[in-house]
Structure 1
Amino acid sequence: MKILLGVCGGIAAYKAAELTREFRRGGATVQVIMTANAERFVTPLTFAALSGNQVMTSLWQPINSDVAADESGTFDIEHIHVGQDADVLVIAPATANFIATLAHGFANDLLSAVSLATTLPIVIAPAMNSNMWAHPATQANLETLRQRNVQIIEPGSGELACGMMGAGRLAEPIEIANRVFQIAQQGTDLMGETVLITAGGTREPIDAVRFIGNRSSGKMGFALAAAARARGAEVILISASTTLPVPAGCTHIRVTTGAQMEQTALAELPRASMVIMAAAVSDYQVLSPSAQKIKKTETLTLELTRTPDILRQIVQQRRAGTVVVGFAAETEHVVEEGRRKLREKGADLIVANDVSRAGSGFDADHNAGTLIFEAGQQVIPLSTKREMAERILNSATSIARQLRGKAELAGSAK
C-alpha cells in the first residue's frame, strides 16, 4: 500500500512525523509532500529519514533532488503522476487555509495541484484554532468537501498551542493511521452494487400551504449516498424536503409525499441489490386535504389516516439477495423498538437511534445508535454522520455476503 501524505503549515506538523512512522509500521510506503509553510515547522530531512523517500516540496523540484531545480535538473509533471501512483492521499494536518484552497479548487502549490489532479480517495485531518474551526466559512468548506467524498477525520478537543481550550487539536496519529488503513481496505468493495437510498422527511399536505412533516434534514441519507458512491456503488438517492447538495455521481430523484416516495422506491427496486430506508416518512396524512388555504378558526379538526408502510413493501417485493436496511427513530426504549421493527418488518438490519438526544439525530451533523440484526447488535458511539454511514455500509455488506453465500450453497446442493 502506498500513501501520499500531505503536510500543511501548522504547529501540528510535528505530529505528522509520528503519523509517518505509524503508516510505516502498518506496512505502507509513504511519500511525503510538504507545503512551504510546513517547512517552517519541520524540515524535509525529518520526513525523508522517517519515510525513506525523497520529500516533495515544489512544483519545480527536479527528480532525485532535495532542493529546487538547477540547470542540470530533470523535470516531470509531478502533480499528475504522483497523484496516480498511490492508493490514498492523506493531508494531515490540514489547515483552514488549505481546506479553503481544496474546497474552491485552487492549485497554487504542489500539494494543492496534486489534490486537484488526483482521482485517489482523499482523507484530511484538520488542525487549527478552535475559532477558525467553528467559523462558518470553514464549516461550509468542510461540507463542500464531504459532498465530494473527501473523508474528514475530525479534530479532538483540549488545550491548543495558542493557549485556548476547545476543538481543533489534530486527531492522534494512531487514530488517523487506523482510519486510513480502514478506508483503503474498503476501497471499491461496493463495485457492482446498486444501492437505493431514501432520505429526508416527507410532507403530507393539509391544505394549499400547510403540511404535516418532521425535523429530518436528510443528512444521514445523503452521507450514506456519498459513502456508498465513494466505495464504488451505483447510487439511486430518493429524497424529500431537503436542499442539501447531491453527492457527486448519484442518480437523484426528488419527491414530496410518502405516496410519491413509495411509488418511486418500488419503481427503482428491481435495479437495487441493497436498499437503505433512511427517510423519515410521516406516519400520517390528511384524509382529505384542502385544495385551498384553510381559514383560521379557534379550533381545527383533521381526520388522519396512515401513510404507506414502504419498508414492509420493499421487503416483500425485493428480489432474492437484496439486502434491506431500515431506520427506527425513537425517543425511548430505543433498542427494544428497533428489535421489534426488525422482527415485524422483516428487514435484514435496523439502525435504531435516539432522536431526542441533543446534538444527534434529526437536523444534526452527528449521530449515534445501535445496529440491530438477527444475530445480535452493535453500538455506534456519537460520530459524524459520514462515519456512521461507513459503519452501516460495513454491516450491510457483511450481511449481503452471508445471504448470498447461503444462496450459493443452497443452489449447489440442488
Structure 2
Amino acid sequence: MTRNVYVAGVGMIPFAKPGASAHYDEMGAKAISQALADSGVPFELVQQAYAGYVYGDSTCGQTALYHVGMTGIPVVNVNNNCATGSSALFLAHQAVKSGMVECALAFGFEEMQAGALKSHWDDRPRAMSKFIEVSDRLLPESPEPGAIRMFAGAGKTHMEKYGTKLETFAKIRAKASQHAARNPLAIFRKVVTPEDVLASPMVWEGVLTRLMACPPTCGAAAAIVCSEDFARRHGLRTDVLIAGQALTTDGPELFQNPDMIDLVGVGMTQSAARSVYEQAGIGPEDIDVIELHDCFAQNELITYEGLGLCGKGEGEKLVEAGDNTYGGRWVVNPSGGLLSKGHPLGATGLAQCFELVHQLRGTAGDRQVAHAKVALQHNLGLGGACVITAYKKAA
C-alpha cells in the first residue's frame, strides 16, 4: 500500500553560534511547536515521531518532545551523521506512505561545540576509520584531518582533473552570502564578495579558505507529514507533495580504486538522484529550486554534477553561467545553504525542507523563487548516507 504524502507544516528557529543558543531540548520543542501550529494539527493526532541529532545522549528526542506533550507515541532517535535530519524525514514519510500511520512528525536539533567536528568516543574503532585510511593514502601531504581533508581534498581533485579554479569556489560562497542576506533565520547575513572569500585565512594553501567551510551551528527544525485522507478529514493544506524520496548508502565500489570525489559521496548522490527522478517523473530540467549540502563550497560544485545538473567536470561552467542563482537555470540554496545559513547537523535536513516548503507555497518573502513548482533537496552524511527528496507544488 502506497499513497500520497504531504508536508502539512514546518517549523524552524533562527540558527546561532555555539554558546549563543538555548539548550537542545528547548530548541527542539520550539521548532516542533511551530510545525504543529503551521499545520493546524493538534499534537494528540501525531502518531509517530522521529528525532534527529548527532551529538547527544540516548532519548534526547523524548526530552525535547516531552516539552510539547506526552502521549505515549513511538519516538525513534536517528543519527546518520550530517544527513540525520533528512533521515528522520525519510522515516516519517515512509511510515505515512506505507499506511502504517496517517500523521508523523520529524524533527531535528543540534547543540554544537565550537571548532571542528570530532569523535567523542576514543576507546573503540572510529566509524570513519576506512575513509581516513584511504584519504591518508590519497593525500599524504594534506595538512588537515577529518572533514576538511575529505571535502577540500575532493575539491583539489576536481581542480587537478578539470582545471577548476579556486575563484570558482569563492563565487559559490559569495552567492551563498547574497542569498542568506534575505533570510532572517540564517546565522551569517553579511554579504561577502569572491575577493573577500579568497582573502579569508587560508586553511589549505591553494585549496580552501576559511569562508569556504560552513560554521558549527546550533538550531532546530521540524516537519509534519500526513496522508491525503488525513489532511482532508482535518482541513489541512495539501499544497506540497513529497513526489519522491530515496536514502542511499555507499556501495562496495567505494573503496575499489577510489579518488577523493568518490570518497565524499558522489556515488550515493547519483544513485539517490536517479531513484528520485524516476519516482517523481522528473529530470533535472524540471527543477526550479534546490537546497543541497554545501558543507564546503567545493561540495556544492561537486553536487551539481552528482545531481545531473551538468556533466562531469562542468560544474565551473554552471557557476560562470550564473545557473545557480536568481535569473539562472536553477536557484541553489536560496536559504543561504549550510555555508551561510549554518549547519546544526541534526536540524539541517529539516531546515532544507522548511525552505523548500515555503518556496513552493510562495511564502519565502524576499528570497522567493518566481513560479517555483518543483523543488529538490539533497542532504549528505559521510560514512555514509545521502537523502534526496523531490517536492511538487500540488494543484
- Please, what TM-score do these two structures have when normalized by structure 1? 0.26
Q: Greater relative contact order (Cα 8 A, min sep 6): structure 1 or 2?
A: 2
Structure with greater strand percent? 1
Which structure: greater helix fraction? 2
Q: Which has the larger radius of gyration?
A: 1
TM-score of the two chains, using structure 2 as the length reference: 0.27
